[in-house]
Amino acid sequence: MTGAHAIAQAVREKRISAAQVTDDCLAALAAEGGSLCAVTRIMADRARAEAAAVDAAIAAGRDPGPLAGVPYGVKDLFDVAGLPTTAGSRLYADAPPAIEDAEAIRRLRAAGAVLVASLNMDEFAYGFATINALHGTTRNPHDPARLAGGSSGGSAAAVAAGLLPFALGSDTNGSIRVPASLTGLYGLKPTHGALPIAGVFPFADSFDDIGPFAGSLADMVTIWAVLRQRSVQDDDPPLRIARLGGRFAENIDPDQRAAIDAIAPDAPVVTLPAIARARSAAFLITACEGGRLHREALGRDAMLFDPQVRDRLIAGALLPDGLYEEAQAFRAAFRAAVLEVIAPYDVLIAPATPCVAPPIADPRIRIDGAMTAARADLGIHTQPISFTGFPSLSVPLYRPGRLPLGLQLIGKPGGEPALFRLAATLEQQGLTGVTPPDRSGDIA
């Protein structure tokens, strides 16, 4: 399937109907979505009704919106009217249906987009791997024997496989940026609170954000503008770029290091204070808020939880309030210190993940010389950024014939336009860009 811009233009120009685009997408999802364990529900009736509304608007001479007839999917924690919001768990498979759509879905529908599916995730978004006890483990389209990352892995896999032009995920500690890196897409964790979270099943309110996956930067910018309900405005001054050092220069793939050298060879290296402590505090806050959220259900239906998720939620629910409050106080001080350090710069560059996607058969990665669980540690470079609430755009390195890898472009609060501008420059220079999965055989 082609990108969102191309589809919308073709639909507006009546070269193809939104109904035909939708039918083609539904057929592709039915044929291929299952093998990737990317799709949890296909919403054929709703999708056809939304597509018909787009075609009717065009026939009546009305503007159908910038995403006219563009099909998309959402991570399985967005409210969809008439369906239970499961958050990837059998615990809520038979929950009462949502009364109305999540606000993000409402905005996309108003822009002409067509919702076709919900997509796989780690249960309750607690993990970086999309290993789901109910729906299965999502596979990476670039190598189905490898993880797609998580917790928004179904969203990433569906877009990377060409089944959808874009999809929505959520990012608490890296759940968009990690799978974007491992599947070779653009993935945005926005400034905390900038995009509408209403109608999205929470994980940890302190960090939760929604954001899109897209196969091109142009599509990413359009989707962001629709969700943000404002155009991208950037004064176009010269960008001031720095590289993140310290822990961000460790546990890094050599190709990522080489790409950063090529992008910003003369940029200063900035070291953020107390990164290890920040990540520990992020773990603690996440566990505590998640545990509190699920405490009642754990007491009532503990055996319905994914065992790995259940144990971490129980541990979080038992954390003392004083420790949580101490972590939040540290977070405020850390954020202020980081803002002071990065004040002279517009964009910071860092790796998005420490490595390429690990194999499903042995889902471990090497961190500090030791093998650790990918489900917990693929977010080693994303979690400290979530802790600040700053925006971060995962951009795919252009590496045809090789497994995907991404970098993070990190901005100050409200700094998404600067991230998009640098990403556009890198795409024009051929340093970054989406590479479709190689269907000819194994890749390195």
The catalytic residues are: 75, 151, 175
Q: How many other CB atoms are there within 10 angstroms of residue 340's CB atom?
A: 10
Supply the angle between the helices 275-301 and 321-342 in degrees, to the nearest 10. Answer: 140
Find where tokens 């540290």 sit.
Answer: 330
Residue 380 DSSP label:
T
Name the residue among 105, 133, 132 with its Cα closest to residue 120: 132
Contact 196, 104 (CB under 8 A): yes
Contact 115, 46 (CB under 8 A): yes
Q: What is the bridge-based pairing of β-strands 209-214 and 241-244?
A: unpaired
Contact 220, 188 (CB under 8 A): yes
Contact 358, 130 (CB under 8 A): no
- Cα–Cα distance for residue pair 289/335, rounded to 1 Å: 19
Buried b / exposed e along 415-431 (16+ C-beta atoms within 10 A): bbbbbbbbbeebbeeee
Q: Which residues contact 56 (CB under 8 A, 6 or more apart)?
A: none
SS3 for 12?
A: helix
Q: Which residues contact 375 (CB under 8 A, 6 or more apart)?
A: 122, 127, 128, 129, 131, 150, 308, 363
Query: Could you tell me the sign of the dihedral formed by the alpha carbons of 172, 178, 181, 184, in that order?
Result: negative
